């Protein structure tokens, strides 16, 4: 029937109209209360679903669970009851049990994360909770001590209240709140004992052991019946706990002894008295409210970083972003900058409460207030020189802003460094500004002398022209330090290459035709090496002296010329230090002495090389010219070898005429020419290459000489397919100071016939 479905307290009272009478409360409330008492008394057939207006259902069973509960034994004891209450309280407070002497959880207060500690024990018993148990384990934390809602005979909540009063009289001052409950009534204590027995049976399949004589379907029905009773008892007893700890109102029959004057929460902080608890608001809400009021009293001037009451803590990323915006405003905008509208809310949340500046609809301005405060406190303490970060942190607390999170206080310290135009040092050495999380012991702010405005402008311009680095044009300690750091980095990066270019130009001066030290390239290379050497020597003398040295030194070439020499040094040095091209270029002067087209082109090639090598790097880049000259020289050598093959006339080409004169004729090999005596071979002196290597230099030079020769032979063979190539080696004489005997063949010893030698190639 519809009238008998979803039977709530109101519907049951209506169905039994006139049976239940009460002047104080409504009949429906009386029905709900009585049915819940029946459920708690062990009538598991009655089920209640819901909290505010539960729906009651009846589940009939012919199975009796009481004999099973009687057989359970002594699982209902004081220890088990305390354990159950602690777990329920920790569940309601959202505290995780750790097994340590106290448990912890984070509470969000004024946009910052704080740690609250929790202890559960007999407050009146000094053998269980000694005096130090009532103190937070770490300075800056708060602690809650919760008492048991029951005790041994002849002990009452008033005994625990008396212990708190005794601790106060003994002078204990701690940021601790003691939460005292009323005691459970005998009836409710029995219900708790029944719940513990039911839970024991339902754990680890114990029901199968205790009801093994029953069929499996009967055991299943008993299990379901016990589960229903356990759920009902857990729900009711949890509600009773709210009443016992002063949060909710309830039936007076649920408690046996009350705390004095209804004061459930007592404070060990002098001068702080907690307010009454919020009725029906829950354990966590009341705990957070108590924690917030206690922290308000501990840190009365702490800024509120959560004015919108979001319940969220300020993050490290938000603090770093605020510092970045304020830095941009101070360094680049003269104290003002404009940010995207999406950043306004998180910036305002931090900048306004900390009094670091103003955030409007677009512009963000930096306030100098903290600079005045800190310097006033420094003067009061007679402090000069470096201001230690931890010292400034103490001055912030002296001003009254106690209890700030380290990252929040570090933000104020960092902004003061911006406002006061001080440079960061770590253990006495100048360092770039650290991340907020790193500011701590060892870090300090130093008032470092700065160059004049004219010196800074000149250094900034010269650093840009020579090293390609730049910083904002605002003269601050930060920009001075940043410019000096970037110049140092460039000096360290390029010094070796710049010095190497100056050396290599000197070593290659003959072939490059730049023997004069005052040719443009050698002069600019020398000036570049001198500048970097000066800056390298002064790198540890401080930022301002380094920039002044950069400005003071002068040369007879423009900064852009020196800058080009510095920037291109690695590429120049690589091109100048390559061994193979130079061995090829060494043959060009010999070719230039020819009176044919090859000689003319060789002379032009040498002139092109000398012209490029003489010019400033800014005018002509040397590395590409060296690559082009190397290719042209290789082509000349190849063409010369092809033209000078015996019996072959040079082929005229554009701008090229046949070389007049008789063609070389075959003839006998001159004595000592390295051939076998008595053998006549055609001689081609114009294609012969002589490479002399002293015996003492074999280990170092032979590989490169052979490699260069191989490249020439391969180039010739490619240009002259089908031409025979003969390779021979001989001894040219004794090296001064060497023994006439040795592994080398003597000058008079006959060489093997090239026709049968394995080194003959085609």
In a domain, 169, yes or no: yes
Report the pLDDT value the prediction gives residue 5, as an integer from 0 to 100. Answer: 65
Per-residue model confidence as pLDDT tens digits over 424-441: 999 988 888 999 999 999
Provide the β-strand partners of residue 443. 426
- Under 8 Å between Cβ of 143 and 176: yes
Q: Quickly state the pLDDT bin for 9 (edges 50, 70, 90).
A: low
In a domain, 378, yes or no: yes
Specify the DSSP element, H or E, that contains 438.
none
Are 85 and 117 in the same domain?
A: yes
Are 116 and 141 in the same domain?
A: yes
Are 432 and 354 in the same domain?
A: yes
Per-residue model confidence as pLDDT tens digits over 70-103: 888 788 888 999 999 999 999 999 999 998 999 9
Per-residue model confidence as pLDDT tens digits over 731-757: 765 555 444 443 333 333 333 343 333
Q: What are phi and psi of 378, to 5 degrees?
A: -65, -40
Are 240 and 321 in the same domain?
A: no
In a domain, 717, yes or no: no
In a domain, 76, yes or no: yes
In a domain, 454, yes or no: no
Domain boundary among 60, 80, 105: 60
In the chain, what is the straight-line distance between the N-terminal and C-terminal CA atoms, in Å? 116
Classify strands 112-120 and 142-146 as parallel, antiparallel or unpaired: parallel
In the chain, how many domains are there? Answer: 3
How far apart CA 430 and CA 424 sit, in angstroms, is 6
How far apart CA 569 and CA 575 sit, in angstroms, is 10
Mean pLDDT score of the chain, rounded to an integer?
82
- Under 8 Å between Cβ of 383 and 446: no
Q: Quickly state the pLDDT bin for 663 (edges 50, 70, 90).
A: very low
Range of the domain at 266: 70-298
Per-residue model confidence as pLDDT tens digits over 47-57: 676 666 777 67
Are 76 and 54 in the same domain?
A: no
Q: Quickly state the pLDDT bin for 549 (edges 50, 70, 90).
A: very high
Are 262 and 335 in the same domain?
A: no
Alpha-carbon torsion 255, 257, 260, 264, what sign?
negative
Classify strands 363-366 and 46-49 as parallel, antiparallel or unpaired: unpaired
In a domain, 108, yes or no: yes
Are 74 and 166 in the same domain?
A: yes
In a domain, 660, yes or no: no
Provide the β-strand partners of residue 146. 120, 179
Are 373 and 263 in the same domain?
A: no
Are 171 and 265 in the same domain?
A: yes
Q: Quickly state the pLDDT bin for 579 (edges 50, 70, 90).
A: low
Domain boundary among 412, 427, 447: 447
DSSP H stretches of helix in 593-735: 597-614, 622-643, 698-719
Per-residue pLDDT, averaged over 368-395, amounts to: 94
Report the pLDDT value the prediction gives residue 755, as an integer from 0 to 100. Answer: 37
Flag the least confident range among 5-9, 444-448, 582-586: 5-9
Q: What are phi and psi of 143, to 5 degrees?
A: -135, 140
Bin 145: left if φ > 0, else alpha if -120 < ψ < 50, else beta.
beta
The pTM for the full model equals 0.64
Q: At what angle do helices 559-567 and 569-576 cross, to 10 degrees?
A: 60
Specify the DSSP element, H or E, that contains 143.
strand 142-146
In a domain, 460, yes or no: no
Are 53 and 91 in the same domain?
A: no
Per-residue model confidence as pLDDT tens digits over 512-536: 888 888 899 999 999 999 999 999 9
Are 277 and 165 in the same domain?
A: yes
Domain boundary among 252, 272, 298: 298
pLDDT above 90 covers what percent of the chain?
47
Judged against a pLDDT cut of 80, whether residue 408 lies above it is answered with: yes
**Using CB atoms within 10 A of its CB, is residue 381 exposed (0-12), middle (13-18) or buried (19+)?**
exposed
Are 184 and 274 in the same domain?
A: yes
């Amino acid at each position: 029937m519809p009238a008998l479905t979803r039977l709530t307290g109101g519907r049951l009272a209506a169905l039994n109209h006139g049976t239940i009478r009460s002047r104080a409360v409504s009949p429906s409330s009386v029905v709900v209360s009585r049915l819940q008492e029946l459920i708690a008394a062990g009538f598991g057939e009655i089920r209640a679903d819901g909290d505010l207006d539960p729906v009651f259902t009846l589940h009939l069973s012919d199975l009796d669970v009481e004999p099973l509960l009687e057989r359970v034994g002594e699982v209902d004891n004081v220890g088990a009851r305390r354990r159950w209450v602690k777990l329920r309280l920790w569940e309601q407070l959202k505290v995780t049990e750790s097994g340590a002497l106290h448990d912890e959880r984070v509470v969000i207060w004024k946009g910052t994360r704080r740690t609250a500690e929790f202890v559960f024990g007999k407050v009146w018993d000094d053998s269980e909770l000694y005096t130090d148990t009532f103190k937070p384990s770490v300075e800056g934390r708060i602690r809650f001590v919760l008492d048991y809602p029951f005790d041994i005979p002849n002990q009452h909540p008033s005994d625990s209240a008396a212990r708190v009063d005794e601790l106060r009289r003994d002078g204990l001052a701690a940021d601790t709140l003691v939460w005292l409950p009323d005691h459970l009534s005998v009836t409710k204590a029995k219900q708790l004992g029944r719940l513990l027995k039911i839970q024991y049976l339902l754990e680890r399949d114990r029901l199968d052991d205790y009801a093994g004589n029953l069929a499996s379907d009967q055991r299943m029905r008993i299990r379901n019946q016990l589960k229903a009773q356990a759920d009902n008892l857990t729900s009711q007893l949890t509600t009773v706990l709210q009443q016992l700890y002063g949060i909710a109102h309830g039936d007076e029959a649920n408690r046996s002894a009350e705390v004095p004057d209804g004061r459930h929460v007592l404070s060990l902080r002098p001068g702080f008295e907690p307010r009454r608890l919020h009725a029906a608001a829950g354990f966590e809400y009341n705990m957070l409210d108590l924690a917030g009021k206690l922290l308000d009293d501990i840190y009365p001037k702490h800024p509120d970083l959560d004015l919108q009451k979001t319940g969220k803590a300020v993050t490290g990323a938000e603090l770093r972003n605020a510092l970045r915006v304020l830095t941009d405003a101070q360094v680049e905008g003269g104290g003002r900058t404009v940010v995207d509208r999406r950043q306004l809310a998180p910036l305002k949340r931090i900048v306004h409460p900390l009094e670091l500046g103003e955030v409007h609809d677009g512009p963000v301005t930096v306030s100098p207030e903290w600079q005045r405060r800190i310097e006033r406190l420094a003067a009061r303490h007679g402090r000069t020189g470096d201001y230690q970060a931890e010292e400034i942190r103490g001055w912030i607390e002296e001003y009254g802003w106690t209890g700030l999170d380290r990252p929040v206080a570090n933000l104020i310290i960092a902004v003061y460094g911006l406002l006061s135009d001080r440079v960061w040092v770590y253990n006495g050495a100048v360092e770039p500004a650290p991340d907020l999380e790193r500011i701590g012991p060892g870090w300090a702010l130093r008032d470092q002398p700065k160059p004049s405005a004219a010196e800074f402008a000149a250094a900034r311009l010269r650093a840009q022209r020579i090293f390609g680095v730049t910083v904002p044009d605002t003269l601050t300690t930060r920009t001075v330090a940043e410019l000096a750091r970037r110049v140092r980095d460039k000096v360290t990066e390029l010094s070796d290459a710049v010095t190497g270019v100056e050396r290599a130009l000197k070593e290659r001066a003959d072939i490059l035709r730049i023997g004069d030290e005052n040719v443009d390239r050698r002069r600019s290379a020398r000036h570049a090496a001198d500048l970097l050497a000066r800056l390298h020597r002064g790198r540890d003398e401080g930022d301002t002296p380094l920039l002044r040295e950069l400005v003071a030194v002068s040369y007879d070439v423009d900064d852009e010329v020196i800058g080009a020499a510095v920037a291109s040094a690695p590429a120049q040095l690589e091109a100048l230090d390559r061994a193979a091209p130079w061995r090829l270029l060494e043959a060009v002067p010999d070719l230039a002495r020819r009176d044919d087209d090859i000689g003319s082109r060789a002379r032009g090639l040498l002139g092109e090389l000398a012209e490029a090598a003489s010019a400033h790097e800014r005018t002509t880049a040397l590395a590409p010219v060296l690559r082009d000259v190397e290719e042209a020289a290789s082509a000349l050598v190849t063409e010369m070898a092809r033209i000078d093959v015996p019996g072959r006339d040079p082929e005229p080409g554009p701008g090229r005429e046949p070389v007049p004169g008789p063609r070389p004729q075959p003839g006998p090999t001159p004595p000592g020419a390295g051939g076998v005596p008595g053998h006549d071979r055609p001689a081609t002196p114009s294609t012969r290459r002589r490479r002399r290597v002293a015996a003492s230099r074999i280990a170092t030079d032979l590989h490169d000489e052979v490699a260069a020769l191989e490249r020439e032979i391969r180039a010739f063979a490619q240009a002259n397919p089908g031409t025979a190539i003969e390779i021979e080696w001989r001894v040219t004489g004794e090296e001064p100071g060497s023994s006439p005997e040795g592994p080398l063949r003597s000058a008079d010893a006959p060489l093997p016939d090239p026709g049968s030698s394995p080194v003959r190639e085609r």
